[in-house]
A and B are shown apart, each in its own frame.
Chain A
């Protein structure tokens, strides 16, 4: 996890942001906040498996928050961003259980911290997953009910329930992004697009877990980072659940076509004959937040492909 300190939006004082999970989305949130960051960020560990060690880590994080840039004044605001998660879409129950336990501990620690610092504004931000909650549903809008089909989605629903309880103590936002793509640095998460670009450059085949007509909704990680960053920089006093989708479905054919065009190489593809996640997931534009401005898919893919290319070149130079 990473601690960031910045000037409090309320005036004189510190505003600390504790980001749990510095992956695709967590990293994007940090990058979005970077322009306002005023002290070097501090990285601290958080144990996923051992509850005793996790408790010790959380105590250390509390101390870190208090010790971070005290010269900036009193701690006026504290934002917690939960963007952590190791279990993927195909995770089993035994994979998601430790994550739920870790999340429960972090939320409990957050509540204790809020009790201990009553003069500080506390806000919690949780990254959920629209894909996990609404798998197999189309035309998802504000009235649609989550119906998870696999442990990953069930875990997200449990986590959202925990955040719901937290809303009696502090403002808590839940973000439900659709299928996220983006660049998270060298060695970062290899999503569909990153795999396609990487394999196209290596002239290697990519395995597609879905049909050519499977439709999904893709959002760029930096758009999510910017949106959450704005919620942190301009705090809202009402708890909300935000659906972060593009509202523009894209078929696998379209995704492959754009990827091939952007990379400038033919894509070698291998299709899974019985994909377990070939169901369509699409969202209505009317369900999206008003100040949410998703990047067009082709523009986003071009950005990511360029970042990946630069990363490959930098890696090759280092070798």
Chain B
């Protein structure tokens, strides 16, 4: 990239029922775009990719109209409803920006905060920045508690601390986003795939509200979808529980062996103290074999997990060029926050 070329930002928006919000969303994004141009900022909002995930309302027509009105808006229509992750991946694979921002259709993710995310990313040298809600997003105690509880449980099961930060409002380094999207299979969790490429993950606390949920009380997330998320998260991740299972198996084997030694010594030193013969040794044998089986099952599952991850496309390596960050970092340093 030549030095006079602005750093390009692509925005990807999966759309399922956004008819009422899309025009406003594009207007806000245009405001950001013209604002940067007028300020002579070294970055440009180069494209907005609206991915119609077989929307259930009049969104497809709105998307086509917006794409016809604005050359920088691209319309993509998916054949059927593939889900938010698949739509996001499709959008990312159509992007060519140096950075890619993904956000929801319903304006709960303010486009004006894209610059804040970018500032955070180049300032900290991050490849991903997730927006973190400063307060309860849904303003409904049970809904926010369920969301937090689910993430905590997933962190425990997978051992991946980043899960607690996963959010659909995210800024991603373009090259990495496209690479991660291209390795994603049907059951791969996009954010888990992203974490295969980088450990430089930042979090930015923002005031985010799900206005649609607050006003209507309905959410796109049902219990069934939550379970589906959990399943995909577990399938995509190296499950920590398997290792714990293996450790338990090994510990049981160790306990059984210690017990066997103790029993042997008792038999040699004071055989008179053994009242019932055979029972303890039988229990120790069962314990030993149970531990061995548990350990071997954990080992087999670990192998299987590695194979699944390889088939999901976990890369051996990936190269990165972060040199474009310096220009943005200089610019942001010169600008008041």
Query: Which residues of A are interface residues toward B (Cβ below 8 A)?
Result: 136, 138-139, 141-142, 211-213, 215, 247-251, 253-254, 257-258, 279-280, 282, 284-287
Question: B68's closest neighbor in chain A, by CB?
Answer: A286
Separation of A280 and B175 alpha carbons in the complex (Å): 11
What is the interface residue range for chain B against chain A? 20 to 34
User: In the complex, what residues of A have CB within 8 A of residue B95's CB?
Assistant: 249
Task: Select the residue from A142, A250, A251 with max chain B CB neighbours within 10 A.
Answer: A251
Asked if A251 meets B74 with Cβ closer than 8 Å, knowing A139-B46, A212-B318, the reply is no
Cβ of B321: which chain A residues have Cβ within 8 Å of it?
211, 213
B177-199 CB mask vs A (1 if < 8 Å, else 0) is 01101110000000000000000
Please report the C-alpha to C-alpha distance between residue A287 and residue B67 in the assembled complex, in whole angstroms. Answer: 11
Q: Which residue of B lies closest to A282 (CB)?
A: B96
Task: Tell me if A251 and B8 are in contact (CB < 8 A).
Answer: no
Give every chain A residue within 8 A of B318 (Cβ-Cβ).
Answer: 212, 253
Tell me, yes or no, whether B42 is within 8 Å of chain A by CB. Answer: no
Contacting residues, chain A, for B96 (C-beta < 8 A):
138-139, 215, 249, 280, 282
A to B CB contacts below 8 Å, 11 in the list: A139-B46, A141-B71, A142-B71, A213-B179, A213-B321, A215-B96, A249-B96, A249-B178, A257-B313, A279-B1, A282-B96
Beta-carbon nearest neighbor of B95 in chain A: A249
Q: Chain B's nearest CB lies how many Å from the CB of A171?
A: 27
- B74 contacts A254, C-beta separation under 8 Å: no
User: 8 other contacts beyond A139-B47, A254-B93, A284-B71, with CB at 8 A cut-off?
Assistant: A139-B8, A139-B96, A211-B319, A249-B178, A253-B178, A254-B179, A284-B74, A285-B74
CB-based contact B46/A251 at 8 Å: no
Does any Cβ of A come within 8 Å of B222's Cβ?
A: no
Q: Does the CB pair A248–B94 fall under 8 Å? A: yes
Minimum distance in angstroms from A210 CB to a CB of chain B: 11
| B319 engages A212 (CB within 8 Å) | yes
A253–B182 touching, CB < 8 Å: yes
The residue in chain B whose Cβ has the minimal distance to the Cβ of A211 is B319
Contact A284 B72 (CB under 8 A): yes
Q: How far is the CA of A215 from the CA of B313 in the complex (A)?
A: 19
Whether B273 sits at the interface, judged by CB under 8 Å, is no
Closest to A279 in B: B1
Residue of B nearest to A256 (CB): B182
Chain B nearest CB: distance from A145 CB in Å?
Answer: 14
List of B residues within 8 angstroms of A247 by Cβ: 74, 94
Scoring B residues 68 to 88 as 1 if CB is less than 8 Å from chain A, else 0, what string do you get? 000111110000000000000
Q: Is the CB of B175 within 8 A of A251?
A: yes
Query: A211 to B2, alpha carbons, bound, how many Å?
Result: 16
Does A138 lie within 8 Å of B46, measured CB to CB?
A: yes
Contact in complex: A136, B179 (CB < 8 Å) = no
* Most chain A CB atoms below 10 A, which of B93, B96, B174, B183: B96
**Residues of chain B contacted by A251 (CB below 8 angstroms):** 175, 178-179, 182
